[in-house]
Amino acid sequence: MIPIQGVEGKAIGVLGLGRSGLAAVRALQAGGAEVLVWDDSLDARSRAEADGITVAELGRDKVMERLSLLVVSPGIPHLYPAPNPVIAAAYAAGVPVDNDIGLFFRSFASREWDKYETAPRVVAVTGSNGKSTTSALIHHVLETAGRDVQLAGNIGRGVLDIDPAGDGSVVVLELSSYQTELARALTPDVAVFTNLSPDHLDRHAGMGGYFAAKRRLFSEGGPDRAVIGVDEAEGRYLAGQMSEGPSDDRVIRVSVAGKLGGPGWAVFARKGYLSEYRKGRQVGSIDLREIKGLPGAHNHQNACCAYAVCRSLGLAPRVIEEGLRSYPGLPHRSQVVAEANGVVFVNDSKATNVDSALRALQAFKNVRWICGGLEKDGGLEALRGAAGSVRKAYVIGREAAAFAMQLAPEAEVCGTMAQAVARAIEDAEPGDVILLAPAAASFDQYDNFEQRGDDFVAQISRILES
C-alpha cells in the first residue's frame, strides 16, 4: 500500500466504492485522514459500514463543508455529459476534486528514497488502443531482465495497492482518459502515447476533449522522456509540443505506418521488422513476424512502444528481444484460444471500438468475424476497409440486425454468442480464423468485455469437446 501524504487529521470524502475507491480509502486512512464515503449502491454502502468505514451523504452541505478533498472513482463523470451531483456540490463549495492517480503521484516518493543508489521510476501508458498490451509488455520485458517491477492502474493491481518502491524499481501504469483527465498530479518519468481514435466521446464532449484528457499526462508534470506514436495528427502534434528540436532525444517517435527519418530517436516497424534509429543511424532491429503473442501491425506498434521504453530504461536490444519472444499475450487481446481442424480461434473481446476491431481484422486473413454489441458513437464506416480479410460476419447483440446492415461483408444475424460460434464453426474451412472482435461495448449482453470473451471461449470448448 502507498499511504497518502499530507492528509493527517483532514476529512477526505471518497465517492465510489469500487476497486480504486476502496484502495483510496485504505491509503487515506493509512495517512491519518478521517475518511467519509458514499456510493449510490446500497450494497456497497452496507459493505463499507460492515468494514467500519464511515458512510455519509457527501453532497449535503454540512458534510461537504467539512471536507478538504473529494476523491472520485474514474467511472463517475465530473464534467461531461453532466457532473455527478456530489461533484457539482464540491465545485460549488470550493472543495478540490482528485482521483487515486493524483493521490499516487503526490505520495509515491518517500524519504526512504534518499538511501537508494537508483531512484525508482514510473512509466505511464495512455492512448486509445494498445495500452494494456504495451503496459504488460514493458512489465514482462523488465521482469524477464531481472528488474524489480510492478504493474498497476487499469491492469494488474490498484495503483494505491502496490508495494512501496525499492532501490531502482519500476512501476508501470496503464492509464485511461478517465484517470488522466482529473488527476491533480501527473509526474511519470516516462510517458507513452500509443495512438488516438474515437472513443468515450460523450464523456469528453468530442475528440478535442478526449485528446486533451490524454495530453494531460504529458503537459501536467513534464516527463523526462516521452514515447509517442506519430501515425495520427494528434501524435505528431504532441511530439512537436514535447520536443525542443529534431535532434531532441527526450522524445522517441514510434510508427508502424512507415520509416521515420531525421536526427532524433525513433522506433518503427515495417513489414514485420522493428528498427531503432538514433542520430540517423540504425542501432537495433528485431524480426517480429514469428512472435505468436504479437500478431499484426497493431501489436507491432505495441512492441515498438515497449521497446522504446525499455531502451530508455537502459536495457540492451537483445535483452528486450528475449522478453518480446517469451511474451505470452493477454487474455481477450488477440489471444489464440484454440486450434482445430486447421481453424484458429482468436479472442479479441477487448476490441470494443471500431479502430481496435479494424486493427484485429487487419492482423489475420480468411476471417470469420464475430462482432456486435452496444454500438458506440461514430458508426462502423471505417470497418469497410477491412472487408477483404473477412469471409463472413456473424453478428451478436440486442441490435444485431441494425449492426449487420452497416457491414460490407456478408453478415448473418445470430444474436447470441452460442449461435454465432456454432454457425462460424459450421462454415469454417482449413486456413480460416474465427475471430471475436466486437467493435462494440459489451453491456447490452454482458457485464464487461472479459465476460464476453470467456463466453466465446466456453462456446468453442463446448462444441469442440462434444
> What percentage of the chain has pLDDT greater than the value 90?
83
| 110 annotated to bind ligand | no
Question: All 3 cell numbers of residue 447?
Answer: 457485464
Bridge partners of 333, per DSSP, are 330
Using only C-alpha atoms, the chain has a radius of gyration, in whole angstroms, of 23
Instruction: Report the pLDDT averaged over residues 342-362.
Output: 91
Q: By percentage, how much of the chain surpasses pLDDT 70?
A: 99
Count CB-CB contacts under 10 A for residue 287.
12
Query: How many CB atoms neighbour CB 146 within 10 A?
Result: 8
- Cell numbers representing residue 156 in the block: 494488474
Q: Is 129 annotated as a binding residue?
A: yes
Residue range 206-244, pLDDT digits in tens? 999 999 999 999 998 889 999 999 999 999 999 999 999
User: All 3 cell numbers of residue 449?
Assistant: 468485455
pLDDT tens readout for residues 376-405? 766 787 777 677 789 999 999 988 999 998
The response to whether 177 counts as a known ligand-binding position is no
- 365 is annotated as contributing to ligand binding: no
For the chain, the average pLDDT equals: 94
What pLDDT is attached to residue 385? Answer: 67
At the fourth CATH level, which superfamily is domain 335-464?
Mur ligase, C-terminal domain (3.90.190.20)
Considering only CA atoms, which of 268, 287, 328 is closest in space to residue 139? 328
**Mean pLDDT of the region 14-22:** 94
Tell me, what's the pLDDT at 382? 75
> For residue 204, what are the CA distances in angstroms to 26, 157, 357?
30, 26, 22
Residue 421: predicted pLDDT? 98
Annotated binding-site residue? 134: no
Query: Cβ distance 139 to 151 under 8 Å?
Result: yes
- Residue range 306-326: average pLDDT? 97
Tell me the CATH architecture of domain 11-98.
Answer: 3-Layer(aba) Sandwich (3.40)
* Euclidean distance between CA atoms 44 and 42, whole angstroms: 5
Is 255 within any annotated ligand binding site? no
Q: Is 329 marked as binding a ligand?
A: no
In which band, very low, low, confident or very high, does the pLDDT at 145 lie, cut at 50, 70 and 90? very high
- Mean pLDDT value across residues 368-373: 95
Task: Kindly report, residue by residue over 403-447, the tens digit of the pLDDT.
Answer: 998 886 789 999 999 999 999 999 999 999 999 999 998 989 999
Please check the confidence at residue 134 and state whether its pLDDT lies above 70: yes
Q: Which residue has the higher pLDDT, 6 or 295?
A: 6
Cβ neighbours of residue 78 closer than 8 Å, sequence gap 6 or more: 72, 84, 87, 97, 181, 182
Mean pLDDT of 51-80: 95
The terminus-to-terminus CA distance of the chain in angstroms comes to 47
The CATH number of the structural domain formed by 103-325 is 3.40.1190.10
**Domain ranges (residues) in the chain:** 11-98, 103-325, 335-464
Distance CA 58, CA 90 (A): 9
| pLDDT for residue 318 | 97
User: Count of CB atoms within 10 A of residue 401's CB?
Assistant: 13
Side chain identity at residue 398, one-letter code: R
All residues at 6 or more sequence positions from 80 whose CB lies less than 8 Å from its CB, including other chains: 202, 203, 204, 205, 209
